[in-house]
Structure 1
Amino acid sequence: MSASGTVAVIDYGMGNLRSVWQALAQVAGESKVVVTADPAVVAAADRVVFPGQGAMPDCMREVDARGLRGALVDAARNKPFLGICIGLQMLFEHSEEGDVAGLGIFAGRVRRFPASQMVDPAGLRLKVPHMGWNRVQQAAGSGCRTAAHPLWANIADEERFYFVHSYYVDPADSTVVAGTTGYGIPFTSAVARDNIFAVQCHPEKSARAGLTLLANFIGWKP
């Protein structure tokens, strides 16, 4: 799929944005991909990508320090919006990491993997952070009538994606769940509602499947 217009990648000083930009640029077609910390550029963009790495308290502080909160909330209400990793977690109401409030776009909390349940089927201890390749079981998410969300198009169910995280989202509304993954416990690895799609994995580091997801986002017309 392809589309024209501007894709704004939010820069709030957290994480390696170059890999996100490079992956999007590969699949952007006629769209222009810009990395920006300017709320006005975010407001004018046709699509918004909200990535991030690091600790939730630091990320929330930097979003506010750069005056990006309003532009992010507005974008999440009215244009195609893709959250990645911390960009998924920050959409929720509250995180156990630093006992900090998120943007509150989705109801629910961000929780740390429970140490007592971090064992694999053979009984071996699993490390936290969850780091490496793991499978995503697809679901629709809110507002979708099909078995899987449009951003899963041309991606096999149970495809592997790359993860790096110690916390996971726990939505209050189970109908927003668009993907689940198992790591000691089953956890929500993607959510979707209306014009928002957000994933815990890093599609920019997930080879062909990740590029397909990003291409689907570029062409998505929610």
Structure 2
Amino acid sequence: MIAIIKYNGGNVSSVQNALNRLDVDSVITDDFETIRNADKIIFPGVGEASSTMDLLRQKGLDKLIPTLQQPVLGICLGMQLMCGRNEEGNTFGMGIFDIEVKKFPSRDLVPHMGWNTFHNINSPLFAEIGTENDVYFVHSYYCELSAYTTSVCDYILPFSASLQKDNFFAVQFHPEKSGSIGNKILTNFLKLNS
């Protein structure tokens, strides 16, 4: 069973719709036992960091998520909230990835919105995916490059398009909006061993 973490993240339903297109059953839930017993967890997100972290704290999800043992996939704001300090609202995330989330400098259009190429890929999420594929981004804040970086995108500056630490995977882009490449990434995540 696939659990999609329920909170005020704006793309929860679109992630479930993407799984439906892949004929994969999922449940949107904030129930601790359901989440703990799921085979895979998806932690999506579209929204503002500080208010979202406040809601996660109110529900206790900020304590639960870092303890999960099965594969977890953070998407967009979900990825950013898995990191440490976030410049958006001077927010402190869950610290799974010990890196900062920073605001893009205003040297180009912000938010970074639309299709862009990711490269330097190094993750089982990207099995059988070439190095010159476009995925769909919508974000004003970015995760800095680090030892956790498993792919890179260039917009104003190079940033982490994806991260991995142990059973925690995260992508800044939206696989649920990234066509066949996004479907393949979700399929690869669903095939990961627990």
Q: Which residue matches 1:152?
A: 126
Given that 2:97 and 2:165 are in contact with CA atoms closer than 8 Å, whether structure 1 keeps it comes out as: no
Query: What number of residue pairs does the alignment pair up?
Result: 194
The alignment-based identity, stated in percent, is 39
**Long gaps (5+) in structure 1:** 1-5, 119-125, 141-148
What is the RMSD of the two structures over their aligned residues, measured on CA atoms?
A: 1.3
Aligned twin of 1:215: 187
> Pick from 19, 27, 46: which aligns with 2:22?
27
Q: Following the alignment from structure 2 to structure 1, what is the Cα–Cα distance between the partners of residues 152 and 93?
A: 21
Q: Kindly provide the amino acid, as one letter, of the partner of residue 136 in structure 2.
A: Y
Question: How far off is 1:27 after superposition?
Answer: 2.6
Larger Rg: 1
Asked if 1:114 corresponds to 2:105, the answer is: yes
Tell me the amino acid that sits aligned with residue 177 of structure 1.
T
Q: Which runs of 5+ in 2 are unaligned?
A: none
The alignment's TM-score, normalised by the length of structure 1, stands at 0.83
Given residue 90 of structure 1, which amino acid in structure 2 is its aligned partner? L
Q: CA deviation at 1:14?
A: 2.1
Q: Given residue 35 of structure 2, which amino acid in structure 1 is its aligned partner?
A: V
- Find the partner of 1:99 among 78, 90, 96: 90
4+ long deviations beyond 2 Å? 25-29
Distance 1:187 1:176 in 2: 12
Match of 2:10 among 15, 20, 33: 15
Quote the Cα distance in structure 1 between the aligned partners of 2:188 and 2:23. Answer: 10
Q: Secondary structure at the match of 2:187?
A: helix
How far has the Cα of 1:64 moved from its partner? 1.3
Counterpart Cα distance in 1 of 2:167 and 2:128:
20
Does residue 134 (structure 1) correspond to residue 116 (structure 2)? The answer is yes
- 1: CA distance between counterparts of 2:171 and 2:125? 11
Q: Is the 8 A contact 2:161 2:171 kept in 1?
A: yes
- How far is the alpha carbon of 1:158 from its aligned partner? 2.2
Report whether the alignment pairs 1:191 with 2:163: yes
2: CA distance, partners of 1:168 / 1:21: 24
- The structural deviation recorded for 1:99 is 0.4
TM-score (norm 2): 0.95
